[in-house]
Every structure is written in C-alpha cells, then in structure tokens.
Amino acid sequence: MSAQVNKVLSKMKPVCNVVKSNSHILTTVLFCILALAFFPIELLVRTNIKNDVMMRIKSLLLLNPIGRIFIFLLFVCLYANKDIMNMILLIYFIVALNSRY
C-alpha cells in the first residue's frame, strides 16, 4: 500500500481493531440478514415481515448519510484487516438491499 493509504489507515487503527475483534459477530449478522432476504417467508406466512425489516435496514444504512459513512468505514476496516469473507458478505448485502427493496 502507498504511504498515504497507510497514513489514513493508521489513524483508523483503533476502529479497525474493534471490527477485527468482532468479526465473527459481523459474519453471523450479515449471514442472518442475507438468509432473511432470500428465504421465501411470504410463502409460509401471510404477513410481509421480510419486506418491512429489509426496508427498515435499507432506510437506516443506505438512505441515511450517517449509515453510508458507517458502511464506508466498515468496508475500509475490513480492507485494512484483510477480512475478505466479510467484505464479500458486505458487498452482497448492499447489492441485495439495492436490488430487491
């Protein structure tokens, strides 16, 4: 990495350490949300719980400027920690929210 990137990442080191220490929790949360997004609950139950939950998550994380900053910082921390699995889950999560809800 270049010197400027390392300089920025060094200032984010405490945040990245928190993300790294809770990476297993992040993996579980992202997987559960993606499983909810793609499981056909509407075939089993007459209520529309899945769309309500996913719209609320989308409004908190993607339609809100603070949520977008949070997603960006999370992505940068995952990059700094070289946590490829969670990066892929996060990207898949963002694409799933943008395409379906």
pLDDT in tens, 27-84: 999 999 999 888 888 788 888 888 888 899 999 999 999 999 999 999 999 999 999 9
21 pLDDT higher than 90: yes
Domain residue extents for the chain: 3-100
Cβ distance 58 to 101 under 8 Å? yes
What are 47's two structure tokens?
A: 């209520």
CA-to-CA dists, residue 23 to 33, 58, 98, angstroms: 15, 22, 24
CA-to-CA dists, residue 62 to 2, 5, 34, 35, 43, angstroms: 30, 25, 15, 19, 27
Report the interhelical angle of 23-38 vs 49-61 (nearest 10°). 130
